[in-house]
Amino acid sequence: MPAYRPPRIPASDITPHHIYLSRRSFLGSAATAGLALAGGGGALAAPLAASPSSFKVNEPLTPKEAVTTYNNFYEFGVNKEDPSQNAGAFKPTPWSVKIDGMVGKPKVFGLEELMKIKQEERTYRMRCVEGWSMVIPWIGFPLAALLDQVEPLGSAKYVSFETVVRPEEMPGQGGFFQPLPWPYIEGLRLDEARHPLTILATGLYGETLPNQNGAPIRLVVPWKYGFKSIKSIVRISLVEKQPETTWKNSNAREYGFYSNVNPAVDHPRWSQATEQRIGEGGFFGAKRRATLPFNGYADQVASLYQGLDLKANY
């Protein structure tokens, strides 16, 4: 089968040169134009209002540039810089999220509708299974607020999530040597999904999500390894049985369904006892810090797992 190769479109084909040169006339003032040009980075980041919340980690924020250029988003390539470099053609609008399965009121939500839910700023730690971490000021809303609107049935025990498939906009989904089968799928237990810490994020650092961070809407589950926080979601289903998840399907010995951050349970290839905070220490002064159980959220979430053997259910 021939590999699909998205056409390379030069920027000048999209925006004719004379329009590009007259762009300032579209913008109210030269100052606004300067800001708009300074932003960019391949993303359609726009200011996003959010109310403050009490969910705030008291640790220095990871610089925005690091949060938006050091990414794992295999749909855009497997190297850390790939997503920020390859996500420019991705169109996060228009967008809709279908919620179906064991719910009283299945529904397709337009992005505008989701943005009407009260948006809060939440500063969370993010711990990657590869042994690095960040502190990110997300904007979003509790997933529970959305689930309430579709009225899950009593038989629903789990929630499954699905990322968009658009090989023409996501170079990692085309060609040979695709790292994973698509769509990327993830899942949570219903009580995990309804936990107040679990949010659907629509922005970070006061702006809408850059494409490389999972625009326009992604999951953030701060006590689990980063790969659980699925990006660019198009479908959420309530189901009875534990759903399949992409990394568990790819290597069940290494990636479990729960994937709670746990320094006592090593990944076969990486010690999970310590982590490197991205952007700290540079080349010579990098200092690994101790990883906390449930990524420091044990007080809030440990009760979800009472009686569960966390070594067996990694």
Which residues belong to the annotated binding site for Mo-molybdopterin?
71, 74-75, 128, 163, 213, 218, 229-231
Alpha helices in 28-135 (DSSP H): 30-38, 64-69, 82-86, 111-116
Binding site as annotated, residues: 71, 74-75, 128, 163, 213, 218, 229-231
- 78 versus 144: smaller Cβ distance to another protein: 78
Minimum distance, C-beta of residue 102 to another protein, in the bound complex (Å) = 33
Cβ-based neighbours of 18, under 8 Å, separated by 6 or more: none
Least Cβ distance, residue 59 to another protein (angstroms): 16
Interface with another protein includes 278 (CB under 8 A)? yes
- Which residue stretch of 159-167, 182-190, 195-203, 281-289 sits at the interface with another protein (rule: CB under 8 A)? 281-289
CA–CA distance, 127 with 203 (Å, rounded to integer): 18
* Cα distance between residue 82 and residue 71, in whole Å: 8
Question: Binding of another protein at residue 279 (CB under 8 A)?
Answer: yes
The CA distance from 165 to 246, in Å, is 14
Is residue 66 involved in binding another protein (CB under 8 A)? yes
Q: How far apart are CA 130 and CA 68, in angstroms?
A: 18
Q: Which is nearer to another protein, 187 or 279 (CB)?
A: 279
DSSP 138-198: EEEEEHHHHHHHH-B-TT--EEEEEE---TTT-GGGSSSS-SS-SS-EEEEEHHHHTSTT-
User: Any contact of residue 284 with another protein (CB under 8 A)?
Assistant: yes
Residue 81 binds another protein (CB under 8 A): yes
User: If binding is defined by CB under 8 A, does position 268 make contact with another protein?
Assistant: yes
Q: How far is the CB of 274 from another protein (least distance, A)?
A: 8
Interatomic CA distance for residues 139 and 182, integer angstroms? 27
**Contacts to another protein by CB under 8 A:** 63, 65-66, 69-70, 74, 78, 80-81, 130, 132, 176-177, 179-180, 250, 266, 268-271, 273-274, 276, 278-279, 282-284, 286-288
